[in-house]
Each structure stands twice: as C-alpha cells, then as structure tokens.
C-alpha cells in the first residue's frame, strides 16, 4: 500500500502523515494488487449485528486499507437507506429515481464513512490529536469519532457561517472549537498549516484515508441495486472529496470485475459557490477560486481542495458539472422534505441539478438515476424556517406555514376548513 501523487506520480509510504506531495499535488492511496472480487460475499456479511461486517463501510473491506480489528474506530456507519422515489422521478421527468440518504449515518452526514477509516488510521499511526476545518458536518463527525477513539479534537469553523445544529453537535461531542474570522477556505488553509507545524493528524478529505471510506457510498448503493448500474449518479459538490471518492470507487470496482460498466457522474454546485462548474465550462482549461456564498452553507466553498481528483472523476465517467440557484435548491429541498424523506439544503442541490439536467436534455427522460442526499433534514432548521415562514423575506413556493390559534374548537374548525 502506498500514497501516490496524482500530479507527478511521486510515491510515499502509506503511513506518512503528509497530505500533499512535495510538488503540491494531492495523494491517492493505492491498495495492494489483488484479483476479482466476488460480490456475493457481501450478502453473507449483511447478517452481522456487530464487528466490521455490521458497518456499511468495513463490510466492503476488499476496497479499503487493512487495519487490525482493534484499531478500527466504528459506530458503525453506513447502512443508509436507498429510497425508491417514483413520484419525485415523475416530477423531474426521469424513468427511475433512487435517493441514497447519507444523512442517516450516525452523525447525520456522509462524513462518517470517511471518518471511520481516517480515525482508524490516526489510531494506527499513534496520533495524539486530530483536527479539521469544516462547514459543520465534518466537524460534527470528527468530534464524534475522536471521542470514540479517545483522542482530543480541534475543529476550525467559519465564525457565524455554520448551522446551529452542526455547531451544537460539535460542542456536545466535546471537540475544541476554533471559530475563524473568515470563510471555510481560510479555515482550510489554517488547519493545513496547523497540522504540518504542530503535528496534528488532519481529518479533512484532503486526507486520502477519508476518500477510501467515502467510496463505500457508491459500493453500498450498487449492492442495494443488486449490482445493476444506474445511468447517472448525481451528487452535490463542495470541497469535492465525495466526487473524488465516487470516481475512485468506480475505477476500482471495474478493475476488480465487480461491475462491467460505469454510470455517468453529475456534480451539482450552488451558483454562488461554483468554481468547479466554471472550470468544467472551460473544459478544465482554467480553474479560478471564488468568494463563495449560498444558502446551502455546507457547500459554501470557493477553493475546493480535491479539485484535481474530482476533475479526473468527471473526465473518466463522461460526467458533467451543473450549477443551480439557491431558490432552485430550496424548492427541491421542499419537495424531498414533503415526500417524507427530508435532507439538508446542500443535499437538495442533487435534485435541483437533476431537474435542470433533464430540462436541458443532458439527462434523458428514459434515464435510471441514483441521487445522493448528503445530510439530514435536522442539520439546518434555520434554513427550513426561513423558507417556510419567510422571516422577513417572502416564504418559498412550497411554504408550509404553522397556524397559531386559541385552544377553541371553533377556531380549529375554521382553520381545518380553509
Ligand atoms: N453535502 C453536505 C451536507 C456537506 O456537508 C458537504 C461538505 C457536501 C455536500 C460537499 O461534499 O466537500 O465532498 O464535495 N461538507 C464539508 C464539511 C466541507 O466541512 O462538512 P464535498
């Protein structure tokens, strides 16, 4: 097992704590050569109530770095539902739609899948402290997994720019919280310097072990579809770790004969935080970081760390990148929420982007699509209430406004008859 630079192919020891090559490039973890994987073993492992087989990450360990069982820090994670959503499919105009709800992970977002692997690695190499920069979900996940591992955690978040639920979770799990006067991108720069200079183990998705765990979003999804391949995988893009992970998973699944064709990948950004979309529009000839702003605070990121790896995913899967407005995101969220599934704003970029890609003819009405919902509906109550109540602005198109009455039957009758 080795780390290999995606830009210059320089190799490093798999346990070296560097997160970048000397040339500045990102590092990939290359697993040892091994043959075809018989995916039927995963059905057998589904019976487990405890141990690695009960985790929707470690169950798929043929695609993960190896650890001794006592090094593994697991809650366990994964095992998230794949919802068949025929009504939403009809509404956006595709033949089939499944929504994989990564908000059903232990801390409410997909981050837990990467965190179990990277925290296990931190334990393996004897880390004494772990850190991350975050728009809120990574910090909640880091705080929880560090607590499980008995490691102190320090998280860097943009002051006033993350939801109360995410900050509250991180406080509750006991991490040290540093609020940065600046945006996520500034916090990300600082945590990389801090990790290098202070020897703190970095748990952001620039850490290749994070990407390894997040590959299992796709692997578990295909397992749930009995290894039939959808035409498209649609997901939101912020720091682009997930986009990198999906591409790496697809390449490895094909290399090991678990699948014989690839879905196309569509990454959706918010218009106000869309440097990857702009790069895609230039056929990746140029990449310009931007000052990011969007209601979807999880993806309010202007200088995505995993850009090079994410670009590779789009190029290798004949993928696309789309951008959607905040209104499109919040209307899509209202639809997912009303269906009973629910998700946080960033996750709804998936559906807003799918709708736009169908409208513009990129995704055909005959397509079978799997969308990834990245975070739980309870992650951002402020965004929900602003959309439905207005709170000084006009309420959203699908607003569901609570009514206040006196405890009188007459008033109740009147309201229910409206
Ligand atoms: N959706 C949610 C709910 C997220 O929290 C994030 C990223 C993304 C999508 C974007 O994923 O970065 O892999 O492209 N949140 C990070 C955080 C940055 O700090 O919690 P990505």
When pLDDT is cut at 50, 70 and 90, the band that residue 134 belongs to is: very high
23, 182 in Cβ contact below 8 A? no
Nearest CA, atom 15, ligand 1: 298
Q: Which residues contact 110 (CB under 8 A, 6 or more apart)?
A: 102, 103, 137, 214, 217, 242, 372, 374, 375
Cα 251 from Cα 262, distance rounded (Å): 8
Nearest CA, atom 3, ligand 1: 375
pTM of this prediction?
0.97
286 in a structural domain: yes
Give the atom of ligand 1 at the shortest distance from the alpha carbon of 137: 20
Cβ 247 under 6 angstroms from ligand 1? no
275 in a structural domain: yes
Nearest CA, atom 19, ligand 1: 134
Nearest CA, atom 6, ligand 1: 298
- The residue whose CB lies within 8 Å of the most ligand 1 atoms, and thus the one to mutate among 114, 190, 299, 300, is 299
pLDDT value, residue 263 = 98
When pLDDT is cut at 50, 70 and 90, the band that residue 391 belongs to is: confident
191 in a structural domain: no
366 in a structural domain: yes
Nearest CA, atom 11, ligand 1: 238
pLDDT value, residue 342 = 98
Residue 84 backbone phi and psi in degrees, to 5: -80, 130
Residue 191 backbone phi and psi in degrees, to 5: -70, -30
- The residue whose CB lies within 8 Å of the most ligand 1 atoms, and thus the one to mutate among 184, 297, 374, is 374
Give the atom of ligand 1 at the shortest distance from the alpha carbon of 239: 12
For residue range 244-294, list pLDDT tens digits in order: 999 999 999 999 999 999 999 999 999 999 999 999 999 999 999 999 999
Q: Beta-strand (E) ranges in 58-107?
A: 82-84, 96-101
Give the atom of ligand 1 at the shortest distance from the alpha carbon of 310: 14
340, 67 in Cβ contact below 8 A? no
For residue range 1-15, list pLDDT tens digits in order: 999 999 999 999 999
**DSSP annotation string for 156-203:** EEETT-S-HHHHHHHHHHT-EEEEESS-HHHHHHHHHHHHHHHTPEE-
Residue 267, SS3? Answer: strand
User: Residue range 374-394: average pLDDT?
Assistant: 95
75 in a structural domain: no
Give the atom of ligand 1 at the shortest distance from the alpha carbon of 301: 18
pLDDT value, residue 200 = 97
407 in a structural domain: no
Give the atom of ligand 1 at the shortest distance from the alpha carbon of 240: 14
Residue 373, SS3? Answer: strand
CA–centroid distance, 402 to ligand 1, in Å, is 31
pLDDT value, residue 163 = 96
Cβ 346 under 6 angstroms from ligand 1? yes
Cβ 120 under 6 angstroms from ligand 1? no
CA–centroid distance, 231 to ligand 1, in Å, is 24
Any idea what the CATH number is for the domain that residue 267 is in?
Answer: 3.40.50.1100
Give the atom of ligand 1 at the shortest distance from the alpha carbon of 103: 3
pLDDT value, residue 111 = 98
Instruction: Give 28's strand partners.
Output: 4
Residue 216, SS3? Answer: helix
- The residue whose CB lies within 8 Å of the most ligand 1 atoms, and thus the one to mutate among 238, 241, 319, 348, is 238
Cα–Cα nearest to 27, from 2, 5, 1: 5
For residue range 296-318, list pLDDT tens digits in order: 999 999 999 999 999 999 999 99
Cβ 188 under 6 angstroms from ligand 1? no
For residue range 193-242, list pLDDT tens digits in order: 999 999 999 999 999 999 999 999 999 999 999 999 999 999 999 999 99
CA–centroid distance, 198 to ligand 1, in Å, is 25
Cβ 294 under 6 angstroms from ligand 1? no
- Structural domain containing residue 322: 82-108+208-389
CA atoms within 13 A on the CB side of 253: 27
Give the atom of ligand 1 at the shortest distance from the alpha carbon of 238: 14
Distances (CA, A) of 268 to 301, 349, 354, 379: 13, 6, 8, 20
Cα 371 from Cα 244, distance rounded (Å): 16
Cβ 263 under 6 angstroms from ligand 1? no
Cβ 105 under 6 angstroms from ligand 1? no
Number of domains the chain contains: 1
CA atoms within 13 A on the CB side of 207: 33
Cα 222 from Cα 346, distance rounded (Å): 23
**DSSP annotation string for 246-265:** HHHHHHHHHHTTS-SS--EE
- Whether 404 has a pLDDT exceeding 90, the answer reads yes
Mean pLDDT (the chain, rounded): 97
Cα 137 from Cα 300, distance rounded (Å): 12
331, 92 in Cβ contact below 8 A? no
40 in a structural domain: no
34 in a structural domain: no
């Amino acid at each position: 097992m080795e780390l290999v630079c995606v830009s210059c192919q320089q190799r490093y020891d798999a346990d070296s704590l560097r997160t970048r090559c000397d040339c500045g490039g990102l590092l990939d973890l290359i697993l040892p050569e091994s043959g075809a994987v018989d995916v039927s073993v995963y059905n057998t492992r589904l019976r487990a109530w405890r141990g690695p087989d009960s985790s929707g990450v470690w169950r798929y360990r043929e695609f993960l770095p190896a650890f001794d069982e006592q090094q593994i820090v697991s809650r366990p994670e994964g095992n998230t539902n794949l919802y068949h959503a025929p009504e939403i499919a009809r509404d956006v105009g595709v033949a089939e739609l499944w929504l994989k709800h990564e908000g059903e992970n232990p801390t409410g977002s997909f981050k837990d899948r990467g965190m179990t692997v990277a925290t296990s690695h931190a334990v393996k190499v004897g880390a004494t402290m772990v850190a991350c920069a975050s728009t809120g979900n990574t910090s909640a996940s880091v705080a929880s997994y560090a607590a499980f591992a008995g490691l102190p955690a320090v998280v860097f978040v943009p002051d006033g720019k993350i939801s109360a639920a995410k900050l509250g979770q991180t406080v509750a799990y006991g991490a040290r919280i540093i609020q940065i006067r600046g945006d996520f991108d500034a916090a990300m720069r600082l945590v990389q310097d801090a990790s290098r200079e202070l020897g703190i183990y970095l748990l952001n998705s620039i850490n290749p072990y994070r990407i390894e765990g997040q590959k299992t979003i796709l692997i578990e999804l295909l397992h749930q579809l009995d290894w039939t391949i959808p035409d498209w995988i649609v997901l939101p893009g912020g720091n682009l770790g997930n986009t990198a992970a999906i591409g790496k998973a697809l390449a490895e699944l094909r290399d090991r004969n678990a699948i014989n064709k690839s879905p196309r990948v569509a990454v959706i950004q918010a218009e106000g935080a869309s440097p990857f979309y702009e790069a895609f529009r230039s056929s990746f000839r140029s990449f310009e970081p931007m000052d990011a702003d969007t209601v979807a605070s999880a993806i309010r990121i202007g200088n995505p760390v995993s850009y090079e790896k994410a670009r590779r995913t789009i190029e290798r899967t004949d993928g696309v990148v789309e951008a959607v407005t905040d209104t499109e995101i919040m209307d899509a969220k209202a639809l997912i929420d009303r269906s009973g599934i629910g998700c946080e704003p960033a996750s709804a970029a998936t559906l807003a982007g799918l709708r736009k890609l169908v409208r513009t003819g990129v995704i055909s009405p005959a397509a079978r699509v799997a969308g990834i919902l990245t975070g739980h509906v309870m992650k951002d109550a402020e965004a929900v209430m602003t959309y439905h109540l207005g709170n000084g602005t006009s309420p959203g198109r699908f607003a569901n406004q609570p009514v206040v009455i006196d405890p009188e039957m007459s008033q109740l009758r009147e309201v229910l008859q409206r």
